[in-house]
């Protein structure tokens, strides 16, 4: 069906436009982040800024297939409370906040939704919200997404990575700092960037873009001296541009998968 409304920003549409866009079967992308400490060199909005940028660029590449919701700014990060800055939403409130958003979208006729997350500790909760959306609306397809996690994207990370493994790419690290440098270099204080891989060493629990097999989230001040986990001193804008491009390619692939996902009827075998 040809696109009737030449817009993809949800908040800038009128209600008749939203009605018409929903009928086009577009995929709604909901960027989700959090505000929390990202070392002494990055703004606390890093997770929001990065995922918003990836989602915005994706929608600009394929506006006729997408709708972009405003970013969900506040997420789940109580373990960061020892550092100034984090705004924490309780885990159950956060999950329900997300399912209230997806439920509203469903009410308006949207049937394909991506919850695009940029904050690690949101992951199980965003996943739960996506599951609940389908449980509560079986006719709808909703998934979670975290950037740069597909095998192709991880190959791109490997191709440019200079920091050590594990630990060099976890938080306010080579990866996140590079992307922020590509997006808004005037907000990155590289003179304050400091390598910090001070979490206890373990073969089972380690945080990295290539995570360890086990997971144990302790209070951040017991894992990091600076708020950073990784090596931001190796970050460059050039790496950031490459990573952003890979993330947009990845998300376009996910949009197309979600858009064409077959919805099979349920079968009751009682
Ligand atoms: Zn982050």
Is the backbone of residue 43 left (phi > 0), alpha (psi -120 to 50) or beta?
beta
Radius of gyration of the chain (CA): 19
Is 1's pLDDT higher than 80?
A: no
Q: What is the pLDDT of residues 148-165, one digit of tens each?
A: 999 999 999 999 999 999
Please answer whether residues 231 and 41 qualify as being in contact, where contact means their C-beta atoms are separated by less than 8 angstroms: no
**CA distance linking residue 120 with residue 170, whole number of Å:** 9
Is the backbone of residue 202 left (phi > 0), alpha (psi -120 to 50) or beta?
beta
Task: Average the pLDDT over 196-203 and give the result.
Answer: 94
Å from CA of 70 to ligand 1 middle: 19
Å from CA of 270 to ligand 1 middle: 46
Å from CA of 171 to ligand 1 middle: 5
Taking the complete model, does pTM exceed 0.85, yes or no?
A: yes
Å from CA of 48 to ligand 1 middle: 8
Residues comprising the chain, all counted:
270
Task: Average the pLDDT over 238-251 and give the result.
Answer: 98
Å from CA of 35 to ligand 1 middle: 9
Is 262's pLDDT higher than 80?
A: yes
pLDDT category at 96 given cuts 50, 70, 90 is very high
Give the contacts of 268 (CB within 8 A, at least 6 positions apart): none
**CA distance linking residue 92 with residue 73, whole number of Å:** 16
What class is the 10-260 domain?
A: alpha beta
Mean pLDDT of the chain: 97
Please answer whether residues 242 and 118 qualify as being in contact, where contact means their C-beta atoms are separated by less than 8 angstroms: no
For residue 88, what are its two tokens? 């924490």
Å from CA of 38 to ligand 1 middle: 6
pLDDT at residue number 5: 75
């Amino acid at each position: 069906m040809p696109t009737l409304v030449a817009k993809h920003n949800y908040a800038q549409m009128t209600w008749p436009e939203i009605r018409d866009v929903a009928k086009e079967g577009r995929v709604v992308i909901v960027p989700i982040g959090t505000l929390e400490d990202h070392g002494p060199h990055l703004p606390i909005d890093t997770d929001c800024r990065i995922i918003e940028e990836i989602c915005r660029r994706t929608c600009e590449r394929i506006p006729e297939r997408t709708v972009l919701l405003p970013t969900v700014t506040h997420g789940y990060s109580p373990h960061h409370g020892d550092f100034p800055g984090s705004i924490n939403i309780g885990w159950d409130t956060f999950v329900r906040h997300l399912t209230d958003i997806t439920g509203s979208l469903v009410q308006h006729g949207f049937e394909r939704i991506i919850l695009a997350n940029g904050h690690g500790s949101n992951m199980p909760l965003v996943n739960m919200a996506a599951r609940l959306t389908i449980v509560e609306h079986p006719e709808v397809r909703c998934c979670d997404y975290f950037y740069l996690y597909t095998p192709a994207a991880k190959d791109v990370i490997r191709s440019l990575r200079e920091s050590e493994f594990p630990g060099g790419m976890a938080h306010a690290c080579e990866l996140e700092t590079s992307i922020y440098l590509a997006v808004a270099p005037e907000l990155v204080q590289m003179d304050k960037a400091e390598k910090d891989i001070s979490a206890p060493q373990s073969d089972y629990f380690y945080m990295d873009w290539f995570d360890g097999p086990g997971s144990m989230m302790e209070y951040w001040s017991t894992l990091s001296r600076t708020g950073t986990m990784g090596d931001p001193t190796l970050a460059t804008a050039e790496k950031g541009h490459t990573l952003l491009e890979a993330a947009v390619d990845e998300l376009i692939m996910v949009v197309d998968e979600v858009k064409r996902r077959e919805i099979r009827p349920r079968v009751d075998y009682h």
